[in-house]
């Protein structure tokens, strides 16, 4: 019987790498049995709710909590005064700044947390919020970073020395009270020289608008202080639970072994759940004060108004080239609006994230990037919304600069990209702004994409459409959006990347059980990516046990090994690598056990799918299942019993996934309504672990890209009121607005990753935003458009047409 099982059957039985394995998470989610933070209900639990500032900038003259405290069912109303003795009225941000937990003297953005009400249920809490009386004195509001740098109004009085001087910030000198940092990469003088003497120069100013990750589940936490045992448990929407534990320990003084942080199921993160929010801190303090568990879950308006936004980058670029289209230099300056506190979630040494990947997929000899961070009266944040740190901004910048240069050169933008790609043989490639790209084969991917969509045919059709429009036969124009992107993900080498001094490694711990199943725990946490499915596949291929026999656990700091969490597409590049390395440690010990059982030398057995077999005698083997049992229950000379391994993985480099996207769009110039006719996405994420999951990630990331490019924004009026506070105005597309996508791939493995995987969750967003935007802008190119800013909602598209005289 045994012999009838072929090697292919054995490989298939593992459901390892490359298998479109169905997700193990889905049983509970499809039956309504997920366990999200708001599902947690503890005996005696109280509910917290915030009093928030209606003003964007105001001094707080007084806070009267008497009426609120008098309401039956109200247990406490916390203000900054209550937190100050504990040293908790301010907290560190991930960017090395500090942020008020509750307004201390003044408020700096609309929606800022002013007081925290704790009550028996959410209804009483909401009533009590209404009863807290706060007297404000309005101050001048600044919502524009350029005005902020010119203004006499000091937003952050806490960052000015008593003598009026401006002390250095976390990232060096500050040149104005409202200035946060200047960060530079590359060579300014050399770049200017090249550009000044270039044959062709194209310039563009672009605003990448403020938006928000807006996962369907808002942020929240439940804190439970067990005073009997001195243990604090904190459940919450945390993309990085171990970081939260360390920060909670530093803030509260409770030792880390007495804090358990749990990320239960998370209803989407997209960067929104990386940061530490006042709500988390207040729920902890309230539980310590009241001695009972306290839940805080924000509502949607609070989510959009106060927890981490994304983007808000004003980018100014110059790109130079020869007449033939060979790029010679790139200059970029960014004015970055960080809002009231610098709460960006970037590695410490990179206050503008990896914006210096902005030379893109092109061989650009010399470049310069300068970024100035600025305070304004807007919500803090600056997280990476479905991208590695600021990579969306970088890729948008270069992919727009390429299009503008193509216009300047009167050249096809696809051809311009081909001329300038980093060539396959140039990898590993060190870019002008410092990064070492691990691997790539851009031209092959590009050619495949252009062929798949019949690019030449599309251009011919577009030319016909332009002619028809000019003849007055149609009011619909056609755009062909191109983008070629290179991501930089998997932060990261600890030598480069830390957050608040915490190195960005990750981890995996495997315990093989005697009967041949396993439990593995990792320092990451899935928010929908399907880690329980895909990490088991990596391990199945490494350790030869079926993925179905491997349970993956994440998110509980009491059990999981320390890790830096899930964001920036780092789970597969870092924790996935840790899993593979831990698997290899298991395999190394299994080899010794197998050799002993087969009575041969260690070197005379070899691993084969699910077993170790004697070299040259494959009929003599021990399966991993047999080895697992023996490891525990058979005395093996010289070996400890058991089969466990831990790996902490510090990657030697980032990984650099890439892709080629094409969007075909029709635009009604009279109404400004775009219709997406076709979207083709080719992704190269190196080794593909689960094609089904990859495809799902691409669909989702493209849809978030569509939203950002075509309408999704956090908009403020001149006095700092948020104009887009509900899902009526904050654009999340429905099934009706979203097209079907065509997906494709090439495979260029990462040379330094143990299994060659690069990460994929964020690529479609990073590449998608410029692709959708380029489609809109390409449609208007024949009519004189150079650059228009996103979001391309109906009225802005209409405005573009109007500005080009197309309504005349």
What's the 3-state SS for 407-461? HHHCCCHHHHHHHHECCHHHCCEECCCCCEECCCCHHHHHHHHHHHCCHHHHHHH
CB of 678 to other proteins, least distance (A): 14
Decide if residue 271 touches other proteins (CB under 8 A). no
Rounded least distance, CB 54 to other proteins, Å:
13
Q: Is 718 in the site for other proteins (CB under 8 A)?
A: no
* Footprint on residues 102-161 left by other proteins (CB under 8 A): 122-127, 130
Cα(805)–Cα(783) distance, rounded to whole angstroms?
A: 9
Q: Which residues from 79-98 bind other proteins, rule CB under 8 A?
A: none
Closest CA to 175 of 166, 184, 183: 166
Retrieve residue 118's tokens.
Answer: 């704790």
Question: By C-beta, is 44 or 105 nearer to other proteins?
Answer: 44
Residues 305-324, one symbol each (x = binds other proteins by CB under 8 A, - = not), give --------------------
Decide: 659 and 417 in contact? Cβ < 8 Å.
Answer: no
* CB of residue 724 to other proteins, shortest distance in Å: 6
Distance CA 751, CA 159 (A): 45
Q: Which is nearer to other proteins, 636 or 692 (CB)?
A: 692
The answer to the question of residue 299 lying near other proteins (CB under 8 A) is yes
**Bridge partners of residue 482, in order along the sequence:** 662
CA neighbor of 380 nearest in space, from 278, 250, 239: 278
Task: Kindly report the backbone phi and psi dihedral angles of residue 711, in degrees, each rounded to the nearest multiple of 5, phi listed first.
Answer: 165, -15
- Shortest Å, Cβ 193 to other proteins: 44
Residues in 676-695 at the binding interface with other proteins, rule: CB under 8 A: 692-693, 695
Task: Compute the C-alpha angle 695/696/698, nearest 5°.
Answer: 65
CB of 567 to other proteins, least distance (A): 14
C-beta separation of 243 from 565 below 8 A? yes
CB under 8 A: which stretch of 293-301, 341-349, 372-380, 623-631 binds other proteins? 293-301
Least distance in angstroms from the C-beta of 79 to other proteins: 21
* Residue with smaller CB distance to other proteins, 416 or 698: 698
Ramachandran sector of residue 240 (left: φ over 0; alpha: ψ -120 to 50; beta: rest): beta
Query: Given candidates 703, 750, 773, 785, which one binds other proteins under the rule CB under 8 A?
Result: 703
* Cα within 13 Å of Cα(260), Cβ side: 13
**What is the total count of residues that contact other proteins (CB under 8 A)?**
79
Closest alpha carbon to 398 in 355, 445, 346, 345: 355
The correct pick among 731, 745, 772, 780 for binding other proteins (CB under 8 A) is 731
Q: 429 pairs with which residues across the strands?
A: 437
For position 471 contacting other proteins by CB under 8 A, the verdict is no
* Span interacting with other proteins, options 38-46, 320-328, 352-360, 776-784, rule CB under 8 A: 38-46
Instruction: Give yes or no for residue 67 binding other proteins (CB under 8 A).
Output: no
Nearest-angstrom CA–CA distance, 631 and 112 = 57
First to last CA, the chain: 81
- 3-class SS of residue 181: strand
Closest contact distance (angstroms) between CB of 380 and other proteins is 22
Report if residue 724 touches other proteins, rule: CB under 8 A.
Answer: yes
The answer to whether 296 touches 283, Cβ cutoff 8 Å, is yes
Contact window for other proteins (CB under 8 A) among 168-176, 185-193, 365-373, 797-805: 797-805
Which residue, 386 or 611, is less far from other proteins as judged by CB? 386
Residue choice 13, 434, 514, 696 for contact with other proteins (CB under 8 A)? 696
Do residues 266 and 525 lie in contact, with contact meaning Cβ atoms separated by under 8 Å?
yes
Gap between the Cα atoms of 358 and 390, Å rounded: 10
- Which residues in 214-233 contact other proteins (CB under 8 A)? 214-217
Containing H/E element for 146? Answer: helix 145-150
Q: Exactly one of 267, 490, 754, 767 binds other proteins (CB under 8 A); which one?
A: 267
Tokens representing 230? Answer: 């001195």
Q: Give the nearest distance from C-beta 689 to other proteins in angstroms.
A: 14
Which position among 598, 673, 719, 804 is part of the footprint of other proteins (CB under 8 A)? 673
- Residue ranges in 559-588 that form contacts with other proteins under rule CB under 8 A: none
Q: With binding defined as CB under 8 A, does residue 39 bind other proteins?
A: yes
Verify binding: residue 735, other proteins, rule CB under 8 A.
Answer: yes
Query: Is residue 232 within 8 Å of residue 223, measured between CB atoms?
Result: yes
Tokens 């928000």, residue located? 212
Q: What HEC string does 95-125 produce?
A: CCCEEECCCECEECCCCCEEEEEEECCHHHH
Give catalytic residue positions: 239, 386-387, 762
CB of 295 to other proteins, least distance (A): 10
Of 7, 33, 61, 175, which one interacts with other proteins (CB under 8 A)?
33
Q: Which of residues 736-775 bind other proteins (CB under 8 A)?
A: 736-738, 740-741
Please state the φ and ψ torsions of residue 667, each to the nearest 5 degrees. Answer: -130, 130
The residue (of 288 and 804) whose beta carbon lies closer to other proteins is 804
Task: Check binding of 672 to other proteins (CB under 8 A).
Answer: yes
Map residues 185-214 to x or -, x wherever contact with other proteins holds by CB under 8 A: -----------------------------x
Question: Does residue 528 interact with other proteins by CB under 8 A?
Answer: yes
Q: In DSSP terms, which residues pair with 332 in a beta bridge?
A: 317, 369
Contact criterion met (CB below 8 Å) for 470 and 368: no
Calpha distance 590→607 (Å, rounded): 9
Q: Which is nearer to other proteins, 228 or 735 (CB)?
A: 735
Binding residue (CB under 8 A) for other proteins from 10, 13, 18, 34: 34
Q: From the CB of 624, what's the least distance to other proteins, in Å?
A: 28
711 belongs to the binding site for other proteins (CB under 8 A): yes
| Beta carbon nearer to other proteins, 80 or 292 | 292
CA distance linking residue 112 with residue 136, whole number of Å: 13
For the CB of residue 5, give the shortest distance to other proteins in the complex, in Å.
26
Asked whether position 165 contacts other proteins by CB under 8 A, the answer is no
Report if residue 410 touches other proteins, rule: CB under 8 A: no
Least distance CB 345 / other proteins (angstroms)? 19
Is residue 702 part of the contact set for other proteins (CB under 8 A)? yes
Supply the DSSP symbol for 571. Answer: I
Answer whether 25's CB lies under 8 Å from 531's CB: no
Q: List binders of other proteins among 5-24 (CB under 8 A).
A: 22-23
Identity of the residue, 150 or 726, whose beta carbon is nearer to other proteins in the bound complex = 726
Nearer to other proteins, 62 or 740 (CB): 740
Is residue 572 a contact partner of residue 760, using CB atoms and an 8 Å limit?
yes
Beta strands 327-339 and 366-375 are: parallel
Considering only the stretches 182-190, 197-205, 260-268, 337-345, report the one whose residues sit in contact with other proteins under the rule CB under 8 A.
260-268
**Of residues 793, 569, 601, the one with CA closest to residue 686:** 569
């Amino acid at each position: 019987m045994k012999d009838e099982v072929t090697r292919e059957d054995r490989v298939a039985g593992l459901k390892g790498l490359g298998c479109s394995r169905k997700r193990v998470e889905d049983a509970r989610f499809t039956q309504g049995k997920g366990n999200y933070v708001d599902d947690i209900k503890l005996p005696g639990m109280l509910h917290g709710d915030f009093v928030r500032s209606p003003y964007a900038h105001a001094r707080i003259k007084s806070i009267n909590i008497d009426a609120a405290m008098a309401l039956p069912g109200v247990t406490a109303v916390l203000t900054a005064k209550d937190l100050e003795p504990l040293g908790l009225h301010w907290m560190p941000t991930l960017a090395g700044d500090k942020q008020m937990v509750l307004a201390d003297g003044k408020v700096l953005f609309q929606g800022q947390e002013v007081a925290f009400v704790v009550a028996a249920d959410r209804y009483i809490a909401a009533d009590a919020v209404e009863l807290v009386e706060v007297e404000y004195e309005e101050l001048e509001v600044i919502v524009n970073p350029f005005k902020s740098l010119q203004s006499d109004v000091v937003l952050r009085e806490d960052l000015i020395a008593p003598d009026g001087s401006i002390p250095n910030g976390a990232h060096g000198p500050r040149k104005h009270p409202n200035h946060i940092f200047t960060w530079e990469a590359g060579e300014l003088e050399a770049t200017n020289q090249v550009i000044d003497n270039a044959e062709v120069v194209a310039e563009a100013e672009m605003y990448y608008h403020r938006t928000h990750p807006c996962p369907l589940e808002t942020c929240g936490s439940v804190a439970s202080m067990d005073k009997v045992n001195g243990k604090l448990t904190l459940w919450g929407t945390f993309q990085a639970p171990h970081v939260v534990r360390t920060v909670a320990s530093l803030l509260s003084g409770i030792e880390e072994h007495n804090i358990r942080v749990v990320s239960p199921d998370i209803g989407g993160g997209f960067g929104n759940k990386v940061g530490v929010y006042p709500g988390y801190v207040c729920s902890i303090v309230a539980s310590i004060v009241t001695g009972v568990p306290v839940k805080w879950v924000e509502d949607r308006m609070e989510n959009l108004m106060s927890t981490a936004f994304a983007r808000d980058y004003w980018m100014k670029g110059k790109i130079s080239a020869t007449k033939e289209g060979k790029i010679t230099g790139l200059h970029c300056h960014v004015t970055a609006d960080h809002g009231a506190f610098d709460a960006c979630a970037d590695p410490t040494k990179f206050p503008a994230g990896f914006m210096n990947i902005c030379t893109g997929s092109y061989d650009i000899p010399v470049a310069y990037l300068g970024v100035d961070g600025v305070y304004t009266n807007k919500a803090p944040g600056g997280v990476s919304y479905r991208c590695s740190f600021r990579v969306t901004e970088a890729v948008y910048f270069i992919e727009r600069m390429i299009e503008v240069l193509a216009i300047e050169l009167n050249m096809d933008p696809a051809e311009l990209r081909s001329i300038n790609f980093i060539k396959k043989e140039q990898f590993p490639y060190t870019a002008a702004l410092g990064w070492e790209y691990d691997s790539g084969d851009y031209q092959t991917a590009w050619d495949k994409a252009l062929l798949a969509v019949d690019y030449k045919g599309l251009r011919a059709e577009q030319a016909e459409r332009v002619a028809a429009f000019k003849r007055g036969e149609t009011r619909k124009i056609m755009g062909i959006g191109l983008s070629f992107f290179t991501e930089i993900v998997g932060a990261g080498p600890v030598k480069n990347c830390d957050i608040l001094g915490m190195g960005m490694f990750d981890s995996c711990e495997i315990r093989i059980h005697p009967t041949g199943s396993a439990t593995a725990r990792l320092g990451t946490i899935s928010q929908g990516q399907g880690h329980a499915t895909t990490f088991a596949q990596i391990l199945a291929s490494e350790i030869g046990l079926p993925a179905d026999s491997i349970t993956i656990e994440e998110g509980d700091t009491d059990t999981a090994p320390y890790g830096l969490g899930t964001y920036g597409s780092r789970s597969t590049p870092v924790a996935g690598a840790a899993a593979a390395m831990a698997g290899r440690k298991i395999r190394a010990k299994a080899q010794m056990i197998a050799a002993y059982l087969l009575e041969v030398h260690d070197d005379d057995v070899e691993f084969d799918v699910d077993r170790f077999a004697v070299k040259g005698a494959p009929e003599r083997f021990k399966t991993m299942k047999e080895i697992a049992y023996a490891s525990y229950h058979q005395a093996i000379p010289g070996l400890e019993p058991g089969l466990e391994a831990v790996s902490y993985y510090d990657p030697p480099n980032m990984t650099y996934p890439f892709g080629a996207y094409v969007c075909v769009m029709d635009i009604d110039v009279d109404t400004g309504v775009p219709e997406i006719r076709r979207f083709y996405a080719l992704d190269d994420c190196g080794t593909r672990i689960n094609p089904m999951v990859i495809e799902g990630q691409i669909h989702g990331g493209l849809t978030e890209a569509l939203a950002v490019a075509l309408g999704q924004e956090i908009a403020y009026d001149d006095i700092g009121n948020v104009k887009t506070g509900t899902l009526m105005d904050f654009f999340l597309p429905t099934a009706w607005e979203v097209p079907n996508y065509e997906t494709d791939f090439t495979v260029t493995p990462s040379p330094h990753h143990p299994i060659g995987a690069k990460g994929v969750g964020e690529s479609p967003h990073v590449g998608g935003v410029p692709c959708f935007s380029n489609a809109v802008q390409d449609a208007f190119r024949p009519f004189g458009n150079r650059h228009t800013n996103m979001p391309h909602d109906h009225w802005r598209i209409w405005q573009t047409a109007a500005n080009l005289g197309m309504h005349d």
